[in-house]
A and B are shown apart, each in its own frame.
Chain A
Amino acid sequence: MNIQGDCAERETSKIKLYMKTEARSMFFMLFQQGVQVKTSVGLNVRSILKNVFDITDEFIERRISTILLDGKVVDDIDRAIIKEGSTLALSGAMPGLVGATMRTHSAYESFRRAITYQEKENFYPERIGLFTIKLFNVLTHELAPTLLKKGIILHTEQLKEMFLEKERILSKYLKKACIDNNEVKPTMLIHYDRYKGMCLMEIDFSEAENDS
């Protein structure tokens, strides 16, 4: 997957961070609200999951219990198509009858038929596009690091707010920061007003200092 592709110019800035691995979880909260990725859309859920996260069918079966596309529960991941602007939410196993009801192919499917995803399109052209991914609970730990490495697209205000909230962790674990390929001081991440609108953020969690 190349999430920069030929549409990279639509983001105003590219931020690259070099962090210590311990700081990984500080970014996990972003995935609850959703981040965007740029990839081939117009493919079914299974293909996109494999492309974006580099995961196997076995991982999908075993670890991803609930899949919501545009707020509706997906039972058939080979038929449901992710389109430009779609929102895909993924969750591990959840408690309660409702948790069980929300599972893909749940025995309680009839309980939530009103919100089960039905694919209406027979054909949707494949193209590079943006869609939103939300990751919940255990899946954040398992899938977010891959996405952070490949790059996520989000609003700079969302990012600044998080940097401000986690300033202490940031200063402790940030090794190097670049905005549009220029190295900047960590404080610039919060106060720099040259980056606005949407931005692409990539994070390198390796310990190396000079691999930009």
Chain B
Amino acid sequence: MDKIIRINMAAEPAPEVKITDTKGYEGLGGRGLTSAIVFKEVPPTCHPLSSYNKLVIAPGLLSGTMAAMSGRISVGCKSPLTGGIKEANAGGQPSQMLARLGYAAIVIEGKPKGDDLYKVLINKDGVKVEKDNSLKMLGNYETVERMKKEFGEKISCISIGPAGEMRLAAASVACTDIELRPTRHAGRGGVGAVMGSKGVKVIVIDDEGTKMREPKDRERFRQANAKFIEGLRKHPVTGEALPAYGTNVLTNILNEAGGYPTYNFKEGRFLGAAKISGETEAALETERGGVATHGCHHGCVIRCSGIYHDKDGRYLTKQPEYETVWAHGGNCGIDDLDKIAMLDFLDDDTGLDTIEMGVTIGVAMEAGLLKFGDADGAIELIKEVKKGTPLGRIIGSGALVTGRVFGVEKVPVVKGQGLPAYDPRAVQGIGVTYATSPMGADHTAGYAVATNILKVGGFVDPLKPEGQIELSRNLQIATAAVDSTGMCLFIAFALLDQPETFEALIEMINAFYGLKLTADDVVNLGKNILTMERTFNRLAGFTKEHDRLPDFFKREPLPPHNVTFSVTDEELDQVFNW
């Protein structure tokens, strides 16, 4: 993994491919690499859809190896949704394949003059970029079907749907899963719009003729991987809850705790929660002949995903995960799993971030465009996006734009990005992360390794009121580091409780690269990534006033506990004070 593919889409008469080394970016992978390239090479004040922006796609440090869980891929750029730096990541097969071909990243630069659409083929013989206007405005599913016909079934694809082609700010980048379906999305921040602005519809990866990446110390690596897997299997979250129910296992408990945002963040409990919970979803999938325990890429041992069948037992979509079920479900007052699954399919096919779409439809409901609970109306709205009607384009531009167009006061966004599925008035520490993450309101930015395992910034007393500021800071640092490994963030739950599993992960990296990394080095990596991201945002015009939640969280009490967000602005400003 010592090469970078650079595709200049502005070159005449046709896009130009250069293969370079990784000089200046050695030792970086995943989010570390995407953020470093964007930081160094993209002017912070450029328009996100201009030729100056770059789309960077990078497998993680351990992708393409025997390491379990190592198939996440990072997609980075300047975000058209937030105006700041963005890293969105996804599972699926492309990360492993790209890494096995020896590529640390694909960097798509420039912008073609006309409106031609291109496909890119990457295999052991090199990289080919071809014009293919027959793909115009196809959904992700049909695009992948065409690629299968052309290149066979042993490929993986990274593609955009019509939303990306229309350069809508909620557009995602889709990655194919084990079944070669475009179900895994780098969803957040409009990364699909940037790919669309470059005129690239699909990247096909064919790793035939390649082998697993070989570690420097094979035996040490094998042992560390075995220890790592054992840790994941024995932990109750990664070994039990996630495989059995997926991430949607959170619905019932968040709802019971009054922290499940309902009706566009009006209430903390949804009456229909049990109808759309992970327990109900898993039972329904099994009953209909779908699958309730499934991996999104080879090498996943947690397998939090699944396959959702319709009433007639036919494939409808992958198992919608917690964020999606919440965004289209409770947030919009919809308690019908089949309709939510249909919305998930339409989002995936159109190439849209499910969280942003759910939040946006919630705002449209608040505006009175349709009623809360109107599932068919919500489905029609996503279809409008796919058709590219004026209303569809507004919705596809996200919650902030939709709120402005319809004159809505209560728009739950930070830095222009819709809030995920936890109400920050109930779980205030999450609110700290939503407010201060350089990515905009982002739930994954706070999933990570325990402070006291990493010893980031010393031991934090969680019982002190300021604990949540330190914890949020430390979690963001640790997340940035894990995001660089290519590991699925769900490993964090086992790392959190089992220091030996965390040590096994560091040991794997060391054995693979012949390094002597310590926990401190991992912390420094996380800090460096966050510093680059924060600096980019500052140069793009962000100030501390952007690190705030919308006002209504401070003023409107959230039933049933009637709590408001009480962390002060001064406290929020301390998060990055290290």
Which A residues are within 8 Å of any B CB, using their own CB? 25, 28-29, 32-33, 65-66, 68, 71-73, 89, 91-102, 106-115, 134, 136-138, 140
Is B27 in contact with chain A by the CB < 8 A criterion? no
Residue of B nearest to A33 (CB): B274
Q: Which of B245, B252, B257, B493 contacts A73, CB < 8 Å?
A: B257
From A32, A89, A134, A137, name the one whose CB has the most chain B CB atoms within 10 angstroms.
A137
**A188 → B minimal CB distance (Å):** 25
Is B539 in contact with chain A by the CB < 8 A criterion? no
Stretch at the interface among B34-42, B116-124, B463-471, B500-508: B463-471
Q: Which chain B residues lie closer than 8 Å to A102 at the CB level?
A: 253, 257
Residue of A nearest to B271 (CB): A33
Chain B: number of interface residues, binned into ranges? 35 or more
A109 engages B463 (CB within 8 Å): yes
Q: Which of B219-276 contact A (CB under 8 A)?
A: 235-238, 240-242, 244-245, 247, 249-250, 252-254, 256-259, 269, 274
Is B10 in contact with chain A by the CB < 8 A criterion? no
State the CA gap A184–B561 with chains docked (Å).
45
B452 engages A111 (CB within 8 Å): no
**A25 → B minimal CB distance (Å):** 7
What are 22 A-to-B residue pairs whose CB atoms are below 8 Å?
A: A68-B256, A72-B561, A89-B253, A91-B253, A92-B241, A93-B236, A95-B304, A96-B443, A97-B430, A100-B493, A102-B253, A108-B471, A110-B471, A111-B430, A112-B257, A112-B426, A114-B566, A115-B257, A115-B426, A134-B256, A137-B252, A138-B236
Is B560 in contact with chain A by the CB < 8 A criterion? yes
Q: Which of A71, A92, A101 contacts B236, CB < 8 Å?
A: A92
A138 engages B241 (CB within 8 Å): yes
Q: Which chain A residues lie closer than 8 Å to B447 at the CB level?
A: 96-97
State the CA gap A99–B283 with chains docked (Å).
21
Is B428 in contact with chain A by the CB < 8 A criterion? yes
State the CA gap A96–B253 with chains docked (Å).
12
Q: Which of B280, B283, B462 contacts A110, CB < 8 Å?
A: B462
Is B475 in contact with chain A by the CB < 8 A criterion? yes
Q: Which chain B residues lie closer than 8 Å to A109 at the CB level?
A: 462-463, 467
Is B372 in contact with chain A by the CB < 8 A criterion? no
State the CA gap A29–B422 with chains docked (Å).
24
State the CA gap A25–B278 with chains docked (Å).
15
Q: Which chain A residues lie closer than 8 Å to B253 at the CB level?
A: 66, 68, 89, 91, 94, 99, 102, 136
**A140 → B minimal CB distance (Å):** 7
**B304 → A minimal CB distance (Å):** 8
Q: Which of B256, B280, B566 contacts A71, CB < 8 Å?
A: B256
Q: Which chain B residues lie closer than 8 Å to A106 at the CB level?
A: 462
State the CA gap A66–B254 with chains docked (Å).
11
**A47 → B minimal CB distance (Å):** 22
**A99 → B minimal CB distance (Å):** 6
A111 engages B241 (CB within 8 Å): no
Q: Which chain B residues lie closer than 8 Å to A33 at the CB level?
A: 274
Is B386 in contact with chain A by the CB < 8 A criterion? no
Residue of B nearest to A99 (CB): B250
B560 engages A71 (CB within 8 Å): yes
| Contact A99 B256, CB 8 Å, known A115-B427, A138-B241, A140-B279 | no
Q: Which chain A residues lie closer than 8 Å to B510 at the CB level?
A: none
Q: Which chain B residues lie closer than 8 Å to A29 at the CB level?
A: 274, 279-280, 283
Q: Which of A89, A95, A108, A110 contacts B249, CB < 8 Å?
A: A95
Q: Which 5 A-B pairs have the closest CB atoms?
A: A111-B429, A110-B467, A93-B236, A32-B274, A114-B563
State the CA gap A122–B138 with chains docked (Å).
66
**A9 → B minimal CB distance (Å):** 30
Q: Which of B283, B475, B560, B561 contacts A97, CB < 8 Å?
A: B475
Is B496 in contact with chain A by the CB < 8 A criterion? yes
**B53 → A minimal CB distance (Å):** 31
A89 engages B236 (CB within 8 Å): no
Q: Which chain B residues lie closer than 8 Å to A137 at the CB level?
A: 241, 244-245, 249, 252, 278-279
From A98, A115, A137, name the one whose CB has the most chain B CB atoms within 10 angstroms.
A98
Q: Which of A32, A108, A114 contacts B277, CB < 8 Å?
A: A32
Q: Which of B531-578 contact A (CB under 8 A)?
A: 560-561, 563, 566
Q: Which chain A residues lie closer than 8 Å to B257 at the CB level?
A: 68, 71-73, 102, 112, 115
Q: Which chain A residues lie closer than 8 Å to B393 at the CB level?
A: none
From B426, B450, B463, name the one whose CB has the most chain A CB atoms within 10 angstroms.
B426
Q: Which chain B residues lie closer than 8 Å to A136 at the CB level?
A: 249, 252-253, 256, 277, 279
State the CA gap A89–B273 with chains docked (Å).
14
B561 engages A115 (CB within 8 Å): yes
Residue of A nearest to B246 (CB): A95
A138 engages B244 (CB within 8 Å): yes
